[in-house]
Chain A
Amino acid sequence: MSERTHLEFEKPIVELEKKISDMRDFSIGENLELSSEIASLEKKLEKLRQGIYSSLSRWQKVQISRHPRRPYSLDYIRLITSDFIELHGDRYFSDDAAMVGGFAMIEDQPVMIVGQQKGRDTKDKLFRNFGMMHPEGYRRALRLFYAADKFSLPIVIFIDTPGAYPGIGAEERGQAEAIARNIREMFTLKVPIVVVIIGEGASGGALGIGIGDVVMILEYSWYSVISPEGCAAILWRDAAKAPEAAEALKVTSSDLMDLKVVDKVIKEPATGAHNNHEIMAQKVKEEILNSIKSLKEKPLDQLLSDRLAKYRKIGDFDEK
């Protein structure tokens, strides 16, 4: 990707990177021996990176999850699968482009793959509706889940959505019903389900395709009952208070591990998945294959009862 977009807190890193590269060019051009200077700057760069990335606030992590260069579902599909055959349409109303899905091979493992999809440029963003699905998206996903069940294919799901679309058509066609039905039906699917939250996991829009036997989250992804902005608008009456809301809601991958809502955090490359799609994708592939392998060893009854038990026990309350 040629576009060097970066976040505010990445700026010192980007600047130092440029300084090093300039110095390298200069040393070659002038035939000067600057390798020790360059080496010391590189050391400094590494320290700077570690310093910045080890002390990110929750809000900064949310920003990384939305990085314009963050890998999306189709990037993972391209990097880790072969023979992807996309299956379009919900058979009722339309084809929702805020998601992608179809048959694919991950090494020698055939799977049904479904993911929410964001767009890279303005035109593509609009086409993908910013990764916000309509009811027909949830119904399309369910159609693919049923097909996976019928043909005994493990299901792989990538979550990356700022929310289910809040619009007139979405309400008219039953956004709530579509999400509710998916959640219930996913507990009846007789194949392993592996969910990976690769970016944003906002609320019912994420959960509507988010029930899994194994749920994993990338280090700088988030998952929450409501987006930080949405929460801030309601509780603080000011969307600009999103950083405070992100702190209060505890939306990061490590928070979700603490709350026992996800099974595993997949570490990202040192400066985030957006700076190395390939390494990230390989890690994601390994985790998916490992999960499928162990889930396939479970008898079907146990797979389904474990899936129910996993969600049955989530919650925090006292009982007198």
Chain B
Amino acid sequence: MEWFRKSKSRIESIEKKNIPEGLWTKCESCGEIVYSKKMEELLWVCPSCQFHFRISSHKYIGLLLDGGKLEEYDVGLASRDPLKFKDSKKYPDRIKTAQQKTGLPEGVISGLGTVEGIDISFAIMNFAFIGGSMGSVVGEKIARAIERAIELKRPLVIVSCSGGARMQEGILSLMQMAKTSALLARLAEKRIPYISILTNPTTAGVMASYASLGDVIIAEPKALLGFAGPRVIRQTIGQDLPEGFQSTEFFMEKGFVDSIVHRKDLRSTVTRLLNFMWRR
């Protein structure tokens, strides 16, 4: 069963091939083996343990927005290489690989759409694009999504999924936390609602900026959330971490998540929330 191991990368390739008949998927959380076609129907949520598999940005758009339609903005934004960064790979090559792998130009898709007829400004991050990391382009697209919410007086909904700031752009990545949070202060001034949706994983620079600043913060079950990564914490304190540490459920218990929402209920939850937060 070796080929079941790398379920994450396998799912990406499954999506591309439109899921051939007879393929099975192993849940990376509980080990349950489920017919892939069934998983598609279940929105890639494990029927046995409710673990939410990572799905593509386009699937979320289909799930959340009316008619699965997003009027996309800022598609022409492209990363540069301000530091001429190179580790095992040159940064521009890393971006090219990510673009080929995901079919996306960068780590965020953003634009305008409606949820049950309510106009919103929307942005969604994609983990498959260099770990959903936030560099200048991701920061700029999020910033513009916030500005559109302010200018057009529309609620803001951001689906976060990120390992944090993008190291390859150094300090400029860190500053995207400031840029986005600054604009959220303006949004709050205007009393325009912001719903932050956290998916697996949302950590570090993104969690320590806009993802944590929603008027309401909802999260998918069993996602990894938090500031520091579990590996860094384990190294620092020199002991194993408690079961369930940094999960959605953990942060709900500690008071940092408003509601844990099953993927199938995301759209209705956003709608119900906006009915309270945005009465026109």
Contacts and interface: CB of A to CB of B under 8 A. Distances in A.
Interface of A: 164-168, 170-177, 179-181, 183-185, 187-188, 203-204, 207-208, 211, 223-226, 230-231, 234-236, 248-251, 255-256, 259, 261, 307-308, 311-312, 314-320
Given A166-B236, A172-B254, A234-B167, A316 B172 contact: yes
Interface stretch (B43-51, B62-70, B178-186): B178-186
B142 to A, nearest CB: 11
**Which secondary structure dominates where chain B touches chain A?**
helix
Nearest to A241: B87
Given A166-B236, A314-B175, A180 B181 contact: yes
Interface string B51-74: 000000000000000000000000
A203 B233 CA distance: 16
A235 B86 CA distance: 10
Contact of A235 (B167, B229, B245): B167
A183 to B, nearest CB: 4
Interface of B: 76-80, 82-83, 85-88, 136-137, 139-140, 143, 165-167, 169-179, 181-186, 188, 203-205, 207-213, 225-229, 232-233, 236-237, 241-242, 245-246, 254-256
Contact of B174 (A174, A225, A307, A312): A225
Contact of A224 (B170, B184, B254, B256): B170
Contacts of A166: 227-229, 232-233, 236
Contacts, number: 188
Given A184-B181, A207-B174, A226 B167 contact: yes
19 contacts: A171-B233, A174-B212, A174-B255, A174-B256, A175-B228, A180-B211, A180-B212, A203-B205, A207-B175, A207-B178, A235-B167, A249-B167, A259-B170, A314-B175, A314-B176, A317-B77, A317-B79, A318-B80, A319-B77
A317 B256 contact: no
Contact of B80 (A181, A261, A307, A316): A316
A208 B212 CA distance: 13
Given A249-B83, A311-B182, A175 B254 contact: no
A171 B246 contact: yes
A316 B227 contact: no
Contact of B140 (A207, A226, A315): A315
A168 B176 CA distance: 26
A184 B241 CA distance: 31
B29 to A, nearest CB: 20
B181 A251 contact: no
B215 to A, nearest CB: 12
B170 A251 contact: yes
Nearest to A202: B174
A176 B139 contact: no
A204 B179 CA distance: 13
Given A184-B188, A225-B165, A249-B167, 4 more contacts: A168-B237, A225-B205, A259-B82, A319-B78
Contacts of B208: 175-176, 179-180, 183, 204, 208
Nearest to A171: B226
Max chain B CB contacts within 10 Å: which of A166, A261, A315, A318? A315
Contacts of A250: 83, 170-171
B179 A184 contact: no
A250 B241 CA distance: 33
A235 B176 contact: no
Determine which residue in B174, B179, B227 has the highest number of CB atoms from chain A within 10 A of its CB, and name it.
Answer: B227
